[in-house]
Structure 1
């Protein structure tokens, strides 16, 4: 599954950046785990510890949908994302340590969910958002590997493949709520329970608050795994559009969502606050070395801001 795996990859971050002039205190960190993981799993706990080791004094909060780990994992497969997101908005607003703002990391589907938090709530506000292998432009297939005895995963997978546009599945199966086939957008625009809304894709229903909130980020760093076979297409991590028949890739800057600034991405990009990075390896394969480099570069007290052309991205 897409549970966080801290694989030892021999790599180091190379990010060209210039310091932000104004120094900052160490901001708290919020983490939202991915599909099939739990808020207190060994991998997520290790990430929090690594963040504190890299930037001492980091307060870390791991988002949960249920304090019981088993129920929290089930909620990553089944539930209405809009309701879950509202719960998280209340959860983060209730934590005193986050009141002055925080940095955020979203792993896999946790990436687009944290982006949804920024667009819909953002109180307290996110300063820097890092998303790892997120499905910002949706998934056109579901290739998650389910263990033979993992009936929660197998049930979700079966429903997504067979009945994704039925009201029950759209309001119950989490991955169905960010399913998006660019060659069949009609059902998606009509029936999508989550992604079509936070991507502001419906004509005549553009939410200006979404654009203003996302545009207010200090940095938005989108990270793609270059051998990702779980997220289809992997370029969804960068908001790219992929025609699965021809293989043609339309980069974010050439899409209307950017050119017309539906959710604030163009506002971020023109200010050098939108970054594209790649990590070698498969979905959610992360090294301690690579994470430390990211934490130091983007989440340290002073922070760093890339002011050069962002599209080519960096590599970890």
Structure 2
């Protein structure tokens, strides 16, 4: 009798509660307002009763959070978030992580850089992420007109200048396939987390601890260029027309990030949606993400 009582107690303590979820928004969005990730947080809470959702706010308020998405170095943001997650007691038994657009590669940076100092990160799910960077900026989110044009010019002609790397977030994952060496030397964020300069074994070990790394690509994406970066693909080096998949890239062939090992273990998951950037239905997300990775008891 005592055995069954103890078993029920353990079930309620360990199994019954849903795994918490951490969200990181993209460029031009913010953590908590209803027109941004605030509504998605409510959607998750409605469809996974009892789940704790931490929608990350980088800054003291939503205005700072939005601005930091443009002007605070990803390296500083990741350090800030690592400390934030480490102090969140509701995550102490582990959590799932969902990144939107540039929040995708930033959350991957969290996994790689401080995953060993955090509770277990079970599944990393990225929607429209730029894992191999971008080469083109057709839309600038909240930045419009003259400001947007100015951002484009900076990225096209001065992305790897130190002051631009420090001043503009998007410059840190600008990937120029026509000049790979300058990219590797100048990129203060992406080239590092993709292990393109030196091999950081901590990055590999932390990433390989994930149960699944799910990448969602939007086939009609008009914002992210090239779209293949959402599945870790990119242009073949030396030109900007012909694409290559992750599996064809040196990153995979040389297994500089452990992705080949993860792929063979069935940990890499490639999903797609036909619409534009971050366009998906709630029904699709419930069926393909919630029921499979976030609340598999369903």
TM-score, structure 2 normalization: 0.88
SS at match of 2:111: helix
Match of 1:307? none
Q: What secondary structure, in the 3-state scheme, does the structure 1 residue paired with 2:84 have?
A: helix
Unaligned runs of 5+ in 1: 1-22, 304-316
SS at match of 2:85: helix
Say which of 81, 84, 94 aligns to 2:77.
84
Q: Which moved more, 1:231-240 or 1:293-302?
A: 293-302
1:73 corresponds to which residue? Answer: 66
Name the CA shift for 1:275/1:24 in 2 (closer, same or farther; >3 Å): farther
**Correspondence for 1:281 among 262, 275, 279:** 275
Of the candidates 41, 48, 51, which is equivalent to residue 55 of structure 1? 48
Contact 2:21 2:95 in 1 (8 A): yes
Measure how far apart 1:159 and its partner are: 2.8
- Taking the aligned partners of 2:127 and 2:270, their CA distance within structure 1 comes to 11
Do structure 1's residue 235 and structure 2's residue 228 form an aligned pair? Answer: yes
Choose 100-109 or 293-302, whichever is displaced more. Answer: 293-302
User: Cα–Cα, structure 1 residues 245 and 255, in superposed 2: closer, same or farther, change >3 Å?
Assistant: closer
CA–CA separation in structure 1 for the residues paired with 2:167 and 2:278: 25
1:143-164 superposed Cα distances (whole Å, 9 cap, x missing partner): 2245686776565444323421
Q: Paired residue for 1:137?
A: 132
Distance 1:103 1:153, change over 3 A: farther
| Number of the residue aligned with 2:22 | 30
Asked if residue 97 in structure 1 is aligned to residue 90 in structure 2, the reply is yes
Match of 1:208 among 183, 189, 201: 201
Equivalenced residues, count: 280
Answer with 27-36 or 280-289: which moved more.
Answer: 280-289
Is residue 260 of structure 1 aligned with residue 257 of structure 2?
no
Query: Higher helix share goes to which structure?
Result: 2
- Secondary structure of the residue aligned to 1:231 is coil
Per-residue deviation, 1:256 = 2.1
SS at match of 1:142: coil
Is contact 2:28-2:141 (8 Å) kept? Answer: no
**Match of residue 5 from structure 2:** none
Find the aligned partners of 2:101 and 2:194 in 1 and give their Cα distance. 17
Q: CA deviation at 1:183?
A: 2.3
Q: What is the deviation of 1:265? A: 1.1
Q: Which stretch has the larger CA shift, 249-258 or 28-37? A: 249-258
**Alpha-carbon displacement from aligned partner over 1:115-136 (angstroms, at most 9, x marks no partner):** 0000000112310011000000
Pair member with larger Rg: 2
Gap change, CA 1:99 and 1:150, over 3 Å in 2: farther
Indicate yes or no: 2:154 matched with 1:159.
yes
CA-atom RMSD in angstroms: 2.2
SS in structure 2 at match of 1:121? helix
Tell me the residue number matched to 1:181: 176
Question: Counterparts of 1:138 and 1:275 in 2: how far apart (Å)?
Answer: 19
